[in-house]
Chains A and B, each alone.
Chain A
Amino acid sequence: MSAPEFAPQVAEGGTVRIAACPTDCIEIAAFSGRAAELAGIAARRGPQLPAFGQVARTAGRLVLSVRPQRWLLLHSPAAAGANAALWQSACADVGAVIDLSSALTALHLAGPAVRELLVRSCRLDLDPEAFAPGSAAATIMVQVSVILAALPSGLLLLTPATTARHVHEWLLSAARPFGLMPSSEMSLEDLSGDQWP
């Protein structure tokens, strides 16, 4: 993602942190009658497939379920197609494996005002009681589809790559009143780390 059209004011006193989160994304879906086998394959590779609307994790890996009978696997980036190829060989004939590593852009949003920021476009109820860490959902923000996952460290936002700049620029603009904290890239290791309950 290139620089936005304006320079956001970044300061230590800010209350929102927006960080890129390089990740490979692979979607898997079971063919008819093969769901149990797919779940078994996933469980062996880790982590277990979560229920709809949930996030599961293992070291360096997150799994989101935001579409019925589909799971989005987030891995640390590898060579083009390498992660997907591993899943394709594991799931052959059992389910579809689709590499979406370039299709989705991931941002990590954190800070005390992050929910205040997102209510300016997100229709989901992001109150921690309604959307506790471990929750995931797909929705629309600034006219673009997004997937949100609540993590102990903040919120992970996945959005289509070709419109990611639009979302990013809006986030930076809407975050101005709250102040942006300096941020560096977040890795999946960071997000799936020990802070989980």
Chain B
Amino acid sequence: MRGPHRLAPGLLTDAARPVGFCFDGQRMRGLAGDTLASALLANGRTLVGRSFKYHRPRGIVTAGPEEPCALVDVIGADGREPNRLATTLALHDGLVAESQNRWPSLRFDARAFNDLVSRFLPAGFYYKTFMAPSWAWERVYEPLIRRAAGLGRLDANAGAHPAPAETLHEHADVLVVGGGGAGLAAAQRLGERGFRVILAEQDMVLGGGTLLDARWDAWRQGVCDALGAAARVRCLARTTVLGAYGHGVFGALQVLSPAETLQFGGLRERLRIIRARRVLFATGAVERLIAFPGNDTPGVMLAGAALSYLRRYGVAAGSRPALFLNSDQAYDTLFAFAAAGIGCAGVIDPRPQSLAADRARAAAIEVHGGSVIEAVRGRGTALRVQIARLDGRAAGTLAADSLLISGGYCPQTALAVQLGATLHWQQSIAAFSAQLPAAIGRLAGSARGVFGLAAAVLDGAAAADAIAADLGRPIAAAGARPLPDDPQVTPIAALWEVRTARARGKAFVDLQNDVTSADVRLAQREGYEHVEHMKRYTTHGMATDQGRIGGLVGSAVLAQARGVALSEVGRSKPRPFAQPVAFAALAGSEVGQHLKPWRRVPLHDWHQAAGASFVPTGLWMRPLVYSRQPGWEPVLREARAVRRSVGITDVSTLGKIDVQGPGAGQFLDFIYANTFSTLPVGRARYGIMLREDGMLLDDGTTTRLGPQHFIVTTTTANAAAVLEHMEFHLQAVCPQFDVVLTDVGDQWAQFALAGPRSREVAAAVVADLELSNQAFPFMAAAAAIIAGVAGRVFRISFSGELAYELAVPARHAPLVWQALLAAGAPLGIEAYGLDALNSLRIEKGHVTGAELNGNTSADDLGFTRMLKRHGDFIGRVLSQRAGMTAPDRLQLVGVRPLDAGQRLRNGSHLVAREARSTSLGYVTSSTPGVELDGWVGLALLAAGRQRVGQQLLGVSPLHDEQVELRIVSPHMLDPENARVRA
């Protein structure tokens, strides 16, 4: 055998189904069930990428999601997708992948020059190297660094088409994270007791460590069969729990099987938000590296990964490997290789003696006890491994085609720590383990530092029993089940870094971000002594793999540099997400047309058919003008119909709040600045409400429908805010008022019929109500039958014309609207949109959101007289502060150009000709006059009321325009309000 290759079909591969794929332009073959990494190894590829900073050649290091080096671009029908892990990427026919971060080729990468000048690129080099000259940072340094940074390449058109995605919300009694021995045993116990269980396993198959030991095949199959039959247990393979949040909420990302992808329209990933009463972390342990010079050489792999490739895919990571390890568990790889007929170049173990080493020697395998590796040279299949004895005696060199290393195992505690678990140093395993409050959940198996498959299975079952008891449904003790024995082991001897006299060269503690042990020491020397500071200074653990296999090693190097115990240094805090997640998966299905809800008025389809241009206002789609023609002409046509005859507009978007109860009048007196308790039944009143800080919140009319029944209208924009404001005060501030508030905004469609001839139209459709000025004066209101529909009629006006607002239950809106149009047709009735409505109200001096902007007080807008003198109301005290009524505040005025041919611009600054650099205020709203000649506008102007009659300039620097203006009263049309009372 030359080089790595496939010895036999593995547990997951199907020898009868070859699969063709392409890597860096080279066609290769793998088997169905392979990952890209196993297929590359089977094809003898050891060099698969270049490192992030130094562009050093890199190979496959792990067999799972903790992989730091084997990241590839995948080129598919949807373009190029960077940074996919070869170790988890399922091989499929036609897969095209490319290595990353190299130019012009993987074998010869010009930027490997960085490695030669690495002494000038230590940790934090950009803070030091690029200090001067300062002008060069943005022009030279940053562009250069940005060009050099990053691994994969993103397609220029990436994201042009939203990828299918969805989010699921799920619930369980217990979420079991991890489907290894402990997780399977726990899920089975809980399932048998009838608990609703979700078991999430990141691997494509369940089993975890049991997959690597043939003695466990029968047990695993039995448990999986039992779980498959358990009605309340759901096992989710390919599902990684990404984050653990408070209150039992977890985020998990599931990669779909090809069949599911087909069913769900191309969906590849699915975000599951899981809410569980308890969690069991059976997340296992991750093997860690040892820092020694050349530990990143292609051909150096974690020992556990080599075992995984052998068992799962039948692929040997080498034909004559050397092993460098410090625990008996790691010898499992050695024995599995020997059983597969692969010879070993030798084992290097810093422990002088161990039970596993004895077993190896008994099998005629050479074990170099009390030794370490101080250098690895060569690449590909020709490695020279330089051995040093810890007792200083002479050592030698081994020739091997691969080097399998293991520095021990770290319980995977990241998710538990996210939930507030505390870490404890456990000397027996040379690692930290975690403990969770029982009210949240538990850890089990090697995630808790309990190593050995049988021990983990028993620990998982015990954790399940404890959780069941916590949830009030204890499980009867299980009978002893026969389990394969865990071998006796000699304890691990912690080994973090090899620092012998001849150990020279880069020893990596973070392979993905190219962080060496020397970088960690440099950080410590420069004052970054806390593990979180060291992390940020060196970028240790900040890559997509989150430094899983070297995180603790970096902490240990820091501890050594500081001269303190590792337990004192600890580990940096892990945060969600546990692995990279595509934004599409987070966005879920609420994209495109489902991005946000649009509110449509009941007559939306009519408006659309009538040719309306719509404008989004908040969530509403409102008809702006019934024309697609640009310019003011169609707007003015609609508005003039109102001024001269009759128009009709849909004001259904107004907020409507039903207020009922014995305390309704008093409550409204408290909410509003003016009084409503004295309002007679059948009358409406304009009101303003303030915020607690005395500023205006909203305005609108309120109508008394009965002794204990009012209907409040709010502005469209503030409908939700006003309801919330009222509910808050009713529930929290003045619950003594016996009032029921209900949002009836969607119940009532409301139309404003406005214009001097509106009475004629209203009278034609309104039955059983006399509409004469005497019988139904301005601000009158009554229930009435409108076009056969029971509704309400209000004589209120926003346009300044004689007007009626007709409200009917929304489902009857089309019928009533059509009846009104038919009745108005002989009079030339025009439907008018939001633009015309605005033109009419500006000319009349009515305020809306542009003036009720949150910064204006009642006095600013000329509402001082509406503030009641007696009785309390929200905002009363603060509205009386001197600053709220100061004469130099911005006050509402009207503005009109001296030259009627000149236009106004919203936002124009008002300045005095002699002091142009001082803005005195600004134009809030403007329109061509409907009846008035030229443009008219409303403005907020410092001491505005005193300036009426003065001339100022309206300056719009954005448009390079200035207009000479005359300041006028905001009530520019019909200041006596005669029209509305006609």
Contacts and interface: CB of A to CB of B under 8 A. Distances in A.
B544 interface: no
A101 B748 CA distance: 10
B810 interface: yes
Interface string A157-177: 000111101110110011011
A103 interface: yes
B197 to A, nearest CB: 13
B735 to A, nearest CB: 10
A63 interface: no
Interface stretch (A42-50, A51-59, A120-128): A120-128
A98 interface: yes
Interface size class of A (residues with CB under 8 A): 35 or more
Given A80-B812, A143-B596, A96 B742 contact: yes
Interface size class of B (residues with CB under 8 A): 35 or more
B602 A142 contact: no
Contacts, number: 129
Interface string A46-86: 00000000000000000000000000000000011110010
B600 A165 contact: yes
Contact of B597 (A93, A125, A163, A177): A163
18 contacts: A29-B742, A80-B808, A80-B811, A82-B790, A85-B790, A96-B740, A100-B742, A102-B747, A103-B810, A120-B166, A120-B169, A123-B169, A123-B275, A129-B196, A161-B810, A163-B599, A166-B597, A173-B589
Interface of B: 166-171, 196, 263-265, 273, 275, 589-590, 593-594, 596-602, 605, 619-620, 658, 660-662, 708, 738, 740, 742-749, 789-791, 808-812
Contacts of A127: 171, 196
B166 A174 contact: yes
Nearest to A165: B600
Contacts of A2: 605
A167 B596 CA distance: 10
Contacts of B598: 163, 165-166
B660 A96 contact: yes
Contacts of B740: 29, 31, 95-96, 98
Contact of A119 (B168, B590, B593, B738): B168
A104 B746 CA distance: 8
Contact of B809 (A32, A81, A123): A81
B808 A122 contact: no
A144 B809 contact: no
A120 B168 contact: yes
Contacts of B196: 127, 129
A129 B605 CA distance: 42
Interface string A99-121: 11111100000000000000111
Given A27-B742, A163-B619, 11 more contacts: A31-B662, A32-B662, A80-B789, A95-B740, A96-B660, A100-B742, A102-B749, A103-B810, A129-B196, A162-B746, A173-B594
Contacts of A143: 590, 596-597
A99 B273 CA distance: 37
Nearest to A69: B740
Contacts of B166: 120, 174
Pairs of residues from A and B, 7 with the lowest C-beta to C-beta distance, nearest first: A102-B810, A96-B660, A96-B740, A103-B747, A103-B746, A125-B171, A166-B597
Given A100-B744, A101-B747, A170-B589, A162 B601 contact: yes
A96 B747 contact: no
A130 interface: yes
A72 to B, nearest CB: 11
A142 B590 CA distance: 7
Interface in A1-39: 2, 5, 27, 29, 31-32
Centre residue among B166, B589, B745, B809 by max chain A CB count within 10 A: B809
Given A119-B170, A163-B598, A166-B598, A101 B661 contact: no
A32 B602 contact: no
A163 B745 CA distance: 12
Contacts of A173: 589, 594
Contacts of B745: 103, 162
Contact of A32 (B590, B600, B601, B738): B738
Contact of B790 (A27, A80, A100, A167): A80
A160 B742 CA distance: 13
Contacts of B661: 31-32, 96
A95 B739 CA distance: 10
B171 A130 contact: yes
